[in-house]
């Protein structure tokens, strides 16, 4: 049995085929609910635990329908179609309200696949940044508990130290790994795809309310490549493309220390003035 905080946060107990129970983790708490990356990883974990699973994840889309309250929840994972090499999943996370109703707090889709060896090439290349051991560890939003579960070392684009409204760029480049270190797997990779704080913080240098509405992660690595990363750092890069009428997007990439592109992600985020 593992005792790492991340494994406890995404832990699910099967109650029937495709139905699991879980509980939010205080160690991964965000502003008004659980860290979205840990929640996405929990949804993926339901797929990975399903006895009918085919292959490994190649994509995960998570839609955050409502704020998840501290406490128990139920996750359902259903394979809606299975082909020879791909499998298509529907996932829901539900919580019981004080009135006894079951509310849908999250919906997700996932695709898993039996990968085969083919010609392969990465168009995207890792940026040239200082090695993680040469950079200071830490982040200025330490009041958010989930941040303490990661070792974040910024080469560029840390959260502003002065909220003066004078931000001029949304690009961040940061080394990241679990704290304490933990061997990389698909669930932890999915969570790390969401460690990039809202780009509006950086672009405007104002602490405006913001939260992810929908997150998609594309897994380019297979399980063997994740094992090669072991407990090492990943190099993450994130940048927005447009801020408009209360929403913005941000794209990110995650490379291994060896420069292998492991995952890319895209999300849409709401913000308020």
Which value, in Å, is the radius of gyration of the alpha carbons in the chain?
A: 18
Say how far apart CA 87 and CA 56 lie, in whole Å: 9
Class of residue 27 by CB neighbours under 10 A (exposed 0-12, middle 13-18, buried 19+): middle
- Per-residue confidence (pLDDT) for residue 46, from 0 to 100: 98
* pLDDT-based confidence at residue 99 (cuts at 50, 70, 90): confident
Say how far apart CA 39 and CA 186 lie, in whole Å: 13
Say how far apart CA 105 and CA 124 lie, in whole Å: 34
DSSP label of 146: G
Q: CATH number of the domain at 5-114+131-271, please?
A: 2.40.160.210
How distant is the alpha carbon of residue 104 from its chain centre?
A: 20
Helices (H) and strands (E) in the chain, counts: 5, 12
pLDDT in tens, 192-217: 999 999 999 999 999 999 999 999 99
pLDDT in tens, 53-97: 999 999 999 999 999 999 999 999 999 999 999 999 999 999 998
Q: What is the mean pLDDT of the chain?
A: 95
Using the predicted structure, report yes or no on whether residue 12 has a pLDDT greater than 70. yes
- Per-residue confidence (pLDDT) for residue 141, from 0 to 100: 63
pLDDT in tens, 132-190: 999 999 775 657 899 999 999 999 999 888 899 999 999 999 999 999 999 999 999 99
Average pLDDT for 206-233: 96
* pLDDT-based confidence at residue 28 (cuts at 50, 70, 90): very high
- Per-residue confidence (pLDDT) for residue 3, from 0 to 100: 85
Average pLDDT for 17-33: 95
Using an 8 Å Cβ cutoff, are 58 and 5 in contact? no
Helix (H, G, I), strand (E, B) or coil at 206: coil
Using an 8 Å Cβ cutoff, are 53 and 112 in contact? yes
Instruction: Say which residues have a Cβ less than 8 Å from residue 148's Cβ, sequence separation at least 6.
Output: 27, 142, 179
- Per-residue confidence (pLDDT) for residue 57, from 0 to 100: 98
- Per-residue confidence (pLDDT) for residue 139, from 0 to 100: 72
The residues with which 73 forms a beta bridge, in sequence order, are: 22
Tokens describing residue 64: 């955050």
Residue-wise over 130-154: b if at least 16 C-beta within 10 A, else e? eebeebeeebeeeeeebbebbbbbb
Secondary structure element (H or E) that encloses residue 163, with its range: none
Using the predicted structure, report yes or no on whether residue 98 has a pLDDT greater than 80. no
Using the predicted structure, report yes or no on whether residue 101 has a pLDDT greater than 90. no
- Per-residue confidence (pLDDT) for residue 2, from 0 to 100: 64
Residue-wise over 54-70: b if at least 16 C-beta within 10 A, else e? bbbbbebbbebeeebbe
């Amino acid at each position: 049995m593992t005792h790492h905080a991340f494994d406890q946060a995404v832990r699910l107990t099967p109650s029937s085929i495709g139905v699991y129970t879980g509980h939010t983790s205080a160690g991964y708490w965000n502003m008004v609910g659980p860290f979205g990356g840990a929640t996405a990883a929990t949804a993926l974990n339901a797929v990975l635990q399903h006895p009918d699973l085919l292959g490994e994840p190649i994509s995960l889309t998570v839609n955050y329908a409502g704020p998840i309250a501290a406490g128990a929840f139920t996750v359902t994972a259903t394979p809606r179609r299975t082909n020879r090499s791909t499998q298509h999943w529907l996932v829901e996370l539900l919580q019981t309200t004080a009135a006894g109703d079951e509310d849908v707090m999250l919906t997700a889709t996932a695709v898993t696949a039996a990968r085969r060896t083919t010609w392969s090439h990465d168009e995207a290349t890792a940026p040239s940044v200082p090695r993680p051991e040469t950079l200071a560890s830490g982040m200025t939003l330490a009041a958010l508990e989930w941040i303490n579960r990661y070792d974040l070392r910024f080469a560029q684009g840390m959260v502003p130290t002065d909220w003066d409204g004078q931000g001029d760029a949304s690009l961040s480049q940061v080394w990241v790994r679990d704290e304490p270190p933990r061997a990389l797997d698909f669930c932890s990779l999915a969570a790390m795809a969401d460690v990039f704080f809202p780009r509006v913080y950086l672009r405007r240098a104002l602490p405006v309310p913001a939260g992810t509405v929908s997150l998609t992660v594309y897994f380019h690595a297979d399980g063997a490549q994740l094992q090669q990363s072991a407990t090492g750092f990943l190099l993450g890069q994130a940048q927005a493309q447009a801020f408009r009428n209360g929403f913005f997007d941000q794209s990110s990439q995650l490379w291994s220390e060896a420069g292998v592109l492991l995952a890319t992600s895209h999300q849409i985020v709401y913000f308020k003035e």
